[in-house]
A = this chain, B = another copy of it.
């Protein structure tokens, strides 16, 4: 029949021969491909067939009608299954029962679960009883079938079945399902049929073919279920993949003490240790574990009780692992002493486990280093660098925000940066809880173990700064309601007061009540070995974004090859200098500003000496002052009054100045080199501090490579003017110190105009650094701070594939970068180019940066290993000519 219709929609597998193969995931889905592959390996798999994803897609294209010939192929293959198994579907003596499962290319929540025991009706159950001589087993199978079919296929509320079951147990005075008798189950089946009819308006289908058709439709239909659609959007899985549908002969692990079922991993998924990590149940079906009715046993129990089956399993899992060359997740059932494999797929694992397995498999010569490198998800690597909550701990999650900066932290709640600093001085561990953070909170953020904010996204101030510090942060946790003045926050009905302990999980965004036990990261030998392999393949450099000697040292220990972005303004917020900064801002003229700047000079110089020392021998890119001046002034009248008092300035004057400095669109305002041009004395002071620091260290034979970076250049003349200023200052300082410093002057490329005039700008620049945060904002005309009201919706609705502030928008911002790279290199063939936006720590974006030929990426310290790995993977993928998205999902 398949021949007649032309197109093959159904793929058979059974008795050592399958129509499909393991590499046909597109057509057969992951599960179907795995079953075909195992069958071909002559591993014992219950016979069955897979209806292809093509069939599913055509079904939807064709207004929910099966494509021509599909059903005929289903019937034909069912015949083959009957033949293989020696049983007959709907038969009154030896009935074939089947399971029906969805199976897309990628497993996803919301897709249809398994329906077991399909084919049971009043006729076949009698045959089953007769054949198994086990009425209780048969009725148990029947009531399970009705529950699954009713709830999963027909959408009947599962609770209704559960409730009837509970009532039955109550009536019978028993606690366990297994305590119910055959008769109890028989009358439960009748009750279930009534529930089914009440809910659906139809009788429970007795025709096995009707059952099958409804189940197949439900599998197909689940592809466009709300949860599946949403999951696909979130994970960038195309709509047109479709799902396959697997129909497979049932085998039973609950046919007696000679039967059983189990799941396992071929190695330890937590640690990666090379040992069979599996559990089993005797005389049970897999779903019993899920239902919590039975507690699984160690796999040794199987060895003890069913040694023949166990030995077979041992042989098979090793064979499979060798065949797939990866750690696998397997499912099996023993029916009456005979082992059947039901599923195999690549197993999920922790970062630590992934790393150990990859390294071990290289040692075992199962895989080469390239494969090992490609096996580790860069995002996952992050886990290894941060403390984590003990996975075995019982925790109480009270709210969930955005996983803004990974790791975990435990501490007492405080509500202000000052409180955090005071507590830290006393040696207390605290969690800083704020509505949102501002640059003035930096000190408190440093002092705290972790940061929790009620507002703000993945790229809010709190998130960006916390990631920079490698500090755990949960941001935008809208469920918490902060009362800062009264020092408590409310979540649901809970009232968490200052001093109460909470725990944050920055990797998941969870907020946990009390002190959860943490596991400290161990950068084991494996990590070091692996990163050495990574660096052997990597071509793109990896630097870090940091402003403090401490963070610089951390980043260096993570393998940073320099600083790509040292933001000088963060230094301005230190409590000992903010007042000089404010004095500078409030000065009436150049002289006044210069006087205030003179106070800042030695402090900035000290900062640079510290950073240069930490980065000895490596380049340090220092960005001159960037934010608008009003960011350094407080905003409320109250704060202004205090400041006026401190600075001995009339309040009115301060307020007036604050008003003058106000901007409608600060992002597009008086900032970056526009400050340096209108107040050259500010940049002059900074250049002086940098070159003086460099001169002093040079004299001490410390090798210093300062790269001075001019921000927000839009026109070459801006850069030219600032470059001349820096060179003039540097000349003067070098003369004074009678020494030479090997410094360079470059620019950020962060405005579209800079990108498209990069040829002109290159003539005045020793290097380019792409500021992709601002470049994204201006290319899209999108304020990161204001995008919260529509950007999530855009991503959800698929208008944008990714949040462009997290993953570089390659078709827009990326094109802008390409234009700049091409134009810049046309003028200066070897112009050094890097990226210092947040994207420098995003794997997809790192791959893009490699492809377009950047010299380095720069990211926050804790992202350095991730970026190194992503860089190496980019090289390997390029060689393989593989598409990124296909390789990583």
Against B, the Cβ 8 Å flags (1 = close, 0 = not) of A839-853 are 000000000000000
**B residues near A781, Cβ cutoff 8 Å:** 667-668, 712, 714, 750-753, 774, 778
Which listed segment binds B: A163-171, A342-350, A528-536, A789-797?
A: A789-797
The answer, among B666, B677, B794, B798, for a CB contact under 8 Å with A790, is B677
Chain B nearest Cβ from A670, distance in angstroms: 5
Chain B nearest Cβ from A3, distance in angstroms: 42
Question: A780 near B: Cβ within 8 Å?
Answer: yes
**B residues near A721, Cβ cutoff 8 Å:** 799
Whether B665 lies near A717 (C-beta < 8 A) is no
- Copies of this chain, how many? 2
Whether B715 lies near A812 (C-beta < 8 A) is yes
Given A753-B812, A816-B752; A669-B799 close (CB under 8 Å): no
Given A668-B667, A756-B812; A677-B793 close (CB under 8 Å): yes
**In the complex the two chains form, what is the Cα distance from A811 to B761 in whole Å?**
12
Q: What's the interface size class on A, roughly?
A: 35 or more
For A815, the closest partner residue in chain B by CB is: B756
**B residues near A794, Cβ cutoff 8 Å:** 677
Question: A174 near B: Cβ within 8 Å?
Answer: no
Given A670-B789, A678-B789, A815-B757; A664-B712 close (CB under 8 Å): no
Chain B nearest Cβ from A97, distance in angstroms: 47
Against B, the Cβ 8 Å flags (1 = close, 0 = not) of A541-555 are 000000000000000
Question: A800 near B: Cβ within 8 Å?
Answer: yes
For A721, the closest partner residue in chain B by CB is: B799
Question: A377 near B: Cβ within 8 Å?
Answer: no
Q: Which of A750, A753, A774, A800 has the most CB of B within 10 A?
A: A753
Question: A674 near B: Cβ within 8 Å?
Answer: yes
**B residues near A812, Cβ cutoff 8 Å:** 714-715, 752-753, 756-757
For chain A residues 765-803, which have a beta carbon within 8 Å of chain B? 774, 777-783, 785-787, 789-790, 793-794, 797-800
Q: Which of A721, A750, A752, A757 has the most CB of B within 10 A?
A: A752
Whether B777 lies near A668 (C-beta < 8 A) is yes
**In the complex the two chains form, what is the Cα distance from A234 to B787 in whole Å?**
39
**In the complex the two chains form, what is the Cα distance from A774 to B778 in whole Å?**
11
**In the complex the two chains form, what is the Cα distance from A786 to B793 in whole Å?**
30
**In the complex the two chains form, what is the Cα distance from A812 to B760 in whole Å?**
11
For A664, the closest partner residue in chain B by CB is: B785
**In the complex the two chains form, what is the Cα distance from A790 to B668 in whole Å?**
12
Question: A91 near B: Cβ within 8 Å?
Answer: no
For chain A residues 627-641, which have a beta carbon within 8 Å of chain B? none
**In the complex the two chains form, what is the Cα distance from A664 to B786 in whole Å?**
6
**B residues near A779, Cβ cutoff 8 Å:** 714, 751-753, 756, 778
**In the complex the two chains form, what is the Cα distance from A137 to B119 in whole Å?**
132
Whether B670 lies near A786 (C-beta < 8 A) is yes
Question: A663 near B: Cβ within 8 Å?
Answer: yes
**B residues near A715, Cβ cutoff 8 Å:** 799-800, 812
Question: A822 near B: Cβ within 8 Å?
Answer: no
**In the complex the two chains form, what is the Cα distance from A780 to B674 in whole Å?**
12
**In the complex the two chains form, what is the Cα distance from A663 to B663 in whole Å?**
12
**B residues near A798, Cβ cutoff 8 Å:** 717
The answer, among B667, B800, B813, for a CB contact under 8 Å with A717, is B800
Against B, the Cβ 8 Å flags (1 = close, 0 = not) of A586-624 are 000000000000000000000000000000000000000
**In the complex the two chains form, what is the Cα distance from A786 to B669 in whole Å?**
5
Given A721-B799, A753-B812, A757-B811; A714-B668 close (CB under 8 Å): no
**In the complex the two chains form, what is the Cα distance from A721 to B798 in whole Å?**
11
For A755, the closest partner residue in chain B by CB is: B752
**B residues near A750, Cβ cutoff 8 Å:** 781
Whether A668 lies near B786 (C-beta < 8 A) is yes
Given A714-B780, A751-B781, A780-B714; A793-B663 close (CB under 8 Å): no
**In the complex the two chains form, what is the Cα distance from A472 to B359 in whole Å?**
78
The answer, among B669, B714, B797, for a CB contact under 8 Å with A783, is B669
The answer, among B665, B674, B712, for a CB contact under 8 Å with A666, is B665
For A713, the closest partner residue in chain B by CB is: B781
Question: A301 near B: Cβ within 8 Å?
Answer: no
**In the complex the two chains form, what is the Cα distance from A756 to B818 in whole Å?**
11
**B residues near A786, Cβ cutoff 8 Å:** 663-666, 668-670
Question: A58 near B: Cβ within 8 Å?
Answer: no
Against B, the Cβ 8 Å flags (1 = close, 0 = not) of A795-830 are 001111000000001011101100100000000000
Chain B nearest Cβ from A714, distance in angstroms: 5
For A785, the closest partner residue in chain B by CB is: B664
**B residues near A760, Cβ cutoff 8 Å:** 811
**B residues near A669, Cβ cutoff 8 Å:** 783, 786-787
Chain B nearest Cβ from A673, distance in angstroms: 10
Q: Which of A663, A665, A816 has the most CB of B within 10 A?
A: A665
Chain B nearest Cβ from A236, distance in angstroms: 14
**B residues near A813, Cβ cutoff 8 Å:** 753
Given A779-B753, A812-B715; A793-B668 close (CB under 8 Å): no
**In the complex the two chains form, what is the Cα distance from A666 to B782 in whole Å?**
9
Question: A718 near B: Cβ within 8 Å?
Answer: yes
Whether B785 lies near A665 (C-beta < 8 A) is yes
For A819, the closest partner residue in chain B by CB is: B756
**B residues near A800, Cβ cutoff 8 Å:** 715, 717
For A663, the closest partner residue in chain B by CB is: B786
Given A664-B786, A753-B812, A781-B778; A793-B717 close (CB under 8 Å): no
Given A752-B816, A757-B812; A714-B782 close (CB under 8 Å): yes
**B residues near A751, Cβ cutoff 8 Å:** 779-781
**In the complex the two chains form, what is the Cα distance from A626 to B783 in whole Å?**
16
Given A717-B800, A799-B718; A783-B815 close (CB under 8 Å): no
**B residues near A777, Cβ cutoff 8 Å:** 668
**B residues near A667, Cβ cutoff 8 Å:** 664-665, 668, 781, 783
* A to B CB contacts below 8 Å, 11 in the list: A663-B786, A664-B665, A665-B666, A668-B777, A669-B783, A678-B789, A714-B779, A721-B799, A752-B752, A752-B816, A753-B780
5 further A-B contacts with Cβ under 8 Å, apart from A670-B786, A677-B794, are: A669-B786, A677-B797, A714-B780, A752-B781, A752-B812
Interface residue ranges, A against B (CB under 8 Å)? 663-670, 674, 677-678, 712, 714-715, 717-718, 721, 750-753, 756-757, 760, 774, 777-783, 785-787, 789-790, 793-794, 797-800, 809, 811-813, 815-816, 819
